Amino acid sequence: MTFTYTKLAGALSAIAILGVAGTVQADYPEESITYVIPFNPGGESDVTARFQEPILEEILGVSVNVTHRPGGGGAVAWSEFQNGAEPDGYEIIGVNIPHIIGQPIQRSDAGFETDNWDIITFFHSTPNALIVPADSPFETLDDLVEYARENPEAVTLGGSGTYSANHLDMLRFEQEADIDLTYIPFTGTGPLPAALEGGHVAGIFNYTMLGVQMEDRARVLAVASEERVPALPDAPTFKEQGYDIVGGAYRGVAAPKGTPDEVISVLEDAFAEANRQITEKQEPLGFVMEYITGDEIDEVIASLREAYTPILEAAD
């Protein structure tokens, strides 16, 4: 199932972009909006929010304050949000799949539920990538696999959160390659470059953006996409190397459950225009732009829940 950003042009033609804040509900927004990022600064969610922030402020006519509440692979902020945010559109939060699918399946005490908010849109995705230091003894994916077979659990791979997109695709890689690795969860992408360069992990199972960011200091052994990512043309896919692994993270934004439809519509249109304006900045960084709204949000969640549930159950 593929949901692309190309349909955005048609959707945007139906709205007066810079007037979006006043055309649907005249009294929203009237005050500043808090935009919570549930991970450390420096990761994909934060980078995108910083690009979006000034454009959203121009469109909506109020301050949009990006804040960070890292912990538990996003679970800390998501739990606080679902249990405390008012459904008035003045606090919104970044959401990632499969994080919001996998954590409640894997842990009954995750603190939040997959469906207990109003998701406004998913605006981009990033394929996973297996990254090692530039001076790593693993020059190819085959090198890493061969070593891992001879040394079970000796290869440590850092990633963003537990049962995140990084963790789940690493588990798929273990199954595909018949090896045992050791996953080290971090609170987000932000701390991973230092961990890799400091020798705290043998590699990283993270996203294409980090592969681009660290291109001169690291080596991308494989990317979990159907085709090579344009921003990393020399990095082979897992499929090229015999492993049927295609996956990564979708990122978007949500409002509290029960937020009025008129408010959701204002925010949806604002984020659509913001992402149209930042596409040229994000694609060279390894992002794949998306425009997923309405019923398609439920379709994406249902599709990925079906794909990841067997992996999560096997991991128990």
Do 17 and 96 sit in the same domain of this protein?
Answer: yes
Average pLDDT of the residues in 47-51: 94
Do 113 and 179 sit in the same domain of this protein?
Answer: no
Beta-ladder partners of 117? 256
Average pLDDT of the residues in 26-54: 93
Do 81 and 147 sit in the same domain of this protein?
Answer: no
Give the pLDDT band of residue 260 (cuts 50, 70, 90): very high
Do 200 and 213 sit in the same domain of this protein?
Answer: yes
Choose one of 241, 273, 304: the last residue of a domain. Answer: 241
Do 237 and 265 sit in the same domain of this protein?
Answer: no
Per the structure, the count of domains in the chain is 2
Q: Structure pTM?
A: 0.77
Do 69 and 180 sit in the same domain of this protein?
Answer: no
What's the CATH number where 135 sits?
3.40.190.10
Higher pLDDT, 292 or 11: 292
Average pLDDT of the residues in 157-170: 90
Average pLDDT of the residues in 269-294: 93
Do 131 and 79 sit in the same domain of this protein?
Answer: no
Res 316: pLDDT: 62
Give the pLDDT band of residue 37 (cuts 50, 70, 90): very high
Whether the per-residue pLDDT at 13 is higher than 80: the answer is no
Whether the per-residue pLDDT at 16 is higher than 50: the answer is no
Do 265 and 226 sit in the same domain of this protein?
Answer: no
Do 119 and 134 sit in the same domain of this protein?
Answer: no
Choose one of 217, 241, 265: the last residue of a domain. Answer: 241
Choose one of 196, 221, 241: the last residue of a domain. Answer: 241
Do 100 and 152 sit in the same domain of this protein?
Answer: no
Res 107: pLDDT: 85
Domain assignment of residue 132, given as a range = 127-241
What's the CATH number where 290 sits?
3.40.190.150
Do 151 and 222 sit in the same domain of this protein?
Answer: yes
Do 119 and 133 sit in the same domain of this protein?
Answer: no
Whether the per-residue pLDDT at 139 is higher than 80: the answer is yes
Q: What percent of the chain has pLDDT over 90?
A: 72
Three-state SS sequence of the chain: CCCCHHHHHHHHCCCCHHHHHHHCCCCCCCCCEEEEECCCCCCHHHHHHHHHHHHHHHHHCCCEEEEECCCHHHHHHHHHHHHHCCCCCCEEEEEEECHHHHHHHHCCCCCCCCCCEEEEEEEEEEEEEEEEECCCCCCCHHHHHHHHHHCCCCCEEEEECCCCHHHHHHHHHHHHHCCCCEEEEECCCCCHHHHHHCCCCCEEEEEHHHHHHCCCCEEEEEECCCCCCCCCCCCCECHHHCCCCCCEEEEEEEEECCCCHHHHHHHHHHHHHHHHHHHHHHHHHCCEEEEECCHHHHHHHHHHHHHHHHHHHHHC
User: Are 222 and 237 spatial neighbours (Cβ–Cβ below 8 Å)?
Assistant: yes
pLDDT in tens, 195-233: 999 999 999 999 999 999 999 999 999 999 989 998 999
Give the pLDDT band of residue 26 (cuts 50, 70, 90): low
Give the pLDDT band of residue 44 (cuts 50, 70, 90): confident
